[in-house]
Amino acid sequence: MSLLKDKVAIVTGASSGIGRAIARRYAAEGAAAVIADIVESPIEGGPSTVELITGSGGSALICRPTSRIGAPSTRSWPPRSAGSAASTSW
Ligand SMILES: NC(=O)c1ccc[n+]([C@@H]2O[C@H](COP(=O)([O-])OP(=O)(O)OC[C@H]3O[C@@H](n4cnc5c(N)ncnc54)[C@H](O)[C@@H]3O)[C@@H](O)[C@H]2O)c1
C-alpha cells in the first residue's frame, strides 16, 4: 500500500544527498515530489532527482528559487499589523 498516495512532498535540497534520498523515498510511497533546490544536477553526479523519480514511474518536478529579492527583512518580519502583511511583497 502506498503510504503517501495523493500527497505532495516538498523537499528542500533534494537534488543531492539526504534530500535526494528523502524525495526518492517519498515518491516511491506515492507522493508527488517537489524538488526545491538551487541547482538541478546532483553533486554526486548521475541523473537528476526528477529524472530518477519519473523514470521509475513516479511524479516529480523541480522548483528552483533563484533570488531573495522581495522577501521581507528580518527586521520587518513578522508583520506587526494586517496592513503591513497585506503590503508585503514576496
Ligand atoms: N544532523 C546530522 O547528523 C547530519 C548528517 C548529515 C548531513 N546533515 C546536514 O544535512 C544537510 C544536507 O546534507 P547533504 O549531505 O545531503 O548535503 P549535500 O551538499 O549533498 O546536498 C545539499 C543540497 O542542498 C542544496 N541547497 C543548498 N542551498 C540551498 C538553498 N538555499 N535552497 C535549496 N537548496 C539548497 C544543494 O544544491 C544540494 O543539492 C546539510 O545541512 C548537512 O550539514 C546533518
Over residues 53-72, the pLDDT tens digits come to 999 999 999 998 766 655 54
Q: Do residues 59 and 30 touch, judged by C-beta distance below 8 A? A: no
Domain ranges for the chain, please list them.
1-66
Q: Do residues 42 and 20 touch, judged by C-beta distance below 8 A? A: yes
Which residue CA neighbors atom 25 of ligand 1 most closely? 13
Q: How far is the CA of 44 from the centre of ligand 1 (A)?
A: 12
**All 3 cell numbers of residue 72?**
521581507
Give per-residue pLDDT as tens, 21-56. Answer: 999 999 999 999 999 999 999 999 999 999 999 999
Closest atom, ligand 1, to C-alpha of 13: 24
Q: Is the CB of 54 under 6 A from ligand 1?
A: no
Give per-residue pLDDT as tens, 2-21. Answer: 999 999 999 999 999 999 99
Closest Cα partner for 22 from 43, 1, 51, 53? 53
Residue 47 is predicted with a pLDDT of: 98
